[in-house]
């Protein structure tokens, strides 16, 4: 990479890319220009650090690129917005082989297009440690933003997307289990490239708009805790609604606790929201609990003990890698 140089490498990873229609000016000038037809835009940013949020011995560069975009796209979608574009900054060691950067860029592009946008610009710098920073944009299409603060007492809590499978994949990798075992394939794939159900959030709401919405990135209980706090309510989760026999079978093999993965794992980037009990849930959503008066999150009426989610600094000692809000 040092031989090729920053500008030549940027030219190479941008070559042949087709920008989304809403990108009015892509990479190559002082800044990019994106359309914001709504007159507003949603923006979210995440930083991923090698060894903490991703590992090159556990994921391909392409997977790392996809995941970096997916988790940021999920934040945009969790506001009820359609992803429109992404800017990325990479800090990488001077001896990084060019194909590693190209692989990350390819993965980023793949997922950006899947989410409905493109990579509209970026930065590339030398750094001893690998760092990936992504900023994602979205358009609300004239709708109100779906914040965490609108949940009301008596409402239904529902989820779209998988829970616990990313944590299971991380457990497989951490345990040094045989990653070629087909029984681990789905967990590993989910950990390496989460598949946020973008379409369920944006396209299928119809008349079934949630009162509050967030994505599950820190862990279900932690993220519900943020939502409950922002809304000034309590949430009770029904354990029976969260059981997953396939995940339990996998947990047994690793002598792990599937419930812990589901409640505290995060990183699947499922979406969780609240709806008035009189409203039918949109297709693809399943009820998992209720909004009650008070504060905090309980499981079947009991306040859970033990880890309930991820926090970057204090959680750092407990978990080697894999989490980012």
Residues 3-22 that bind a copy of itself (CB under 8 A): 3-7, 9
Q: Which of 121, 161, 210, 273 binds a copy of itself (CB under 8 A)?
A: 121
Minimum separation from the CB atom of position 13 to a copy of itself (A)? 13
Which residues 163-182 are close enough to bind a copy of itself by CB under 8 A? Answer: none
Which residues 181-220 are close enough to bind a copy of itself by CB under 8 A? Answer: 213-215
Closest residue by Cα to residue 261 from 165, 176, 120: 165
- Residue 138 has phi, psi (to 5 degrees) of -150, 160
- Residue 122 has phi, psi (to 5 degrees) of 180, -170
Q: Which of 20, 46, 118, 228 binds a copy of itself (CB under 8 A)?
A: 46
- Residues near a copy of itself (CB under 8 A), total: 79
Among all chains, which residue has been given the structure tokens 């009990």?
277
Closest residue by Cα to residue 168 from 249, 234, 240: 249
Q: Which of 13, 20, 34, 202 binds a copy of itself (CB under 8 A)?
A: 34
Minimum separation from the CB atom of position 134 to a copy of itself (A)? 9
Q: Which of 13, 20, 52, 299 binds a copy of itself (CB under 8 A)?
A: 52
256's tokens? 């792990």
Nearer to a copy of itself, 7 or 207 (CB): 7
Tell me if 148 is assigned to a ligand binding site. Answer: yes
Which x/- pattern over 220-259 shows residues binding a copy of itself (rule: CB under 8 A)?
----------x-----------------------------
229's tokens? 């706090």
Nearer to a copy of itself, 125 or 199 (CB): 125
268 lies in the binding site for a copy of itself (CB under 8 A): no
Closest residue by Cα to residue 213 from 165, 273, 157: 273
Q: What is the DSSP string of 234-253?
A: EEEE-GGGG--HHHHHHHHH
41 lies in the binding site for a copy of itself (CB under 8 A): yes
- Tell me which stretch binds a copy of itself (CB under 8 A): 25-33, 153-161, 195-203, 255-263: 25-33
Measured CA distances, 134 to 10, 125, 128, 199 (Å):
16, 14, 19, 21
Q: How many CA atoms lie within 13 A of 16 on its CB side?
A: 5
3-state secondary structure of 185: helix
Measure the CA–CA gap between 37 and 313, rounded to whole angstroms. 38
**H/E element, 147:** none
44 lies in the binding site for a copy of itself (CB under 8 A): yes
Nearer to a copy of itself, 25 or 241 (CB): 25
Q: Output the known binding site for ATP.
A: 122-123, 148, 217
């Amino acid at each position: 990479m040092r031989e090729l140089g920053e500008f030549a490498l940027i030219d190479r990873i941008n070559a042949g890319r087709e920008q989304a229609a809403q990108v009015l000016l892509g990479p190559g000038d002082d800044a990019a220009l994106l359309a914001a037809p709504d007159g507003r835009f949603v923006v979210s940013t995440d930083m991923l650090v090698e060894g903490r949020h991703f590992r090159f011995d556990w994921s391909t560069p392409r997977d790392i690129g996809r995941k970096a975009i997916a988790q940021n796209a999920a934040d945009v979608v969790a506001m009820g917005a359609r992803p429109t574009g992404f800017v990325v900054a990479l800090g990488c060691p001077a001896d990084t082989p060019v194909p590693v950067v190209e692989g990350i860029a390819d993965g980023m592009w793949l997922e950006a297009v899947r989410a409905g946008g493109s990579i509209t610009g970026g930065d590339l710098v030398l750094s001893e440690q690998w760092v990936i920073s992504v900023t994602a944009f979205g358009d609300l299409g004239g709708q109100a933003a779906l914040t965490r603060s609108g949940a009301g007492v008596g409402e239904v809590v529902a989820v779209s997307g998988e829970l616990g499978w990313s944590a299971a994949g991380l457990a497989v990798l951490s345990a040094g289990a045989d990653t070629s075992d087909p029984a681990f394939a789905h967990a590993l794939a989910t950990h390496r490239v989460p598949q946020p159900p973008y379409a369920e959030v944006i396209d299928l709401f119809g008349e079934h708009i949630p009162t509050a919405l967030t994505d599950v990135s820190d862990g279900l209980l932690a993220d519900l805790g943020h939502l409950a706090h922002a809304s000034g309510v309590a949430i009770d989760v029904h354990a029976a609604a969260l059981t997953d026999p396939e995940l339990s079978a996998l947990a047994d093999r690793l002598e792990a606790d599937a419930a812990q993965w589901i409640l505290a794992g995060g990183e699947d980037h499922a979406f969780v929201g609240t709806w008035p009990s009189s409203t039918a849930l949109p297709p693809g959503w399943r009820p998992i609990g209720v909004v009650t008066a008070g504060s905090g999150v309980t499981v079947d009426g009991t306040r859970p003990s033990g880890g309930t989610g991820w926090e970057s600094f204090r959680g750092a000692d407990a978990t080697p890698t894999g989490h980012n809000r």
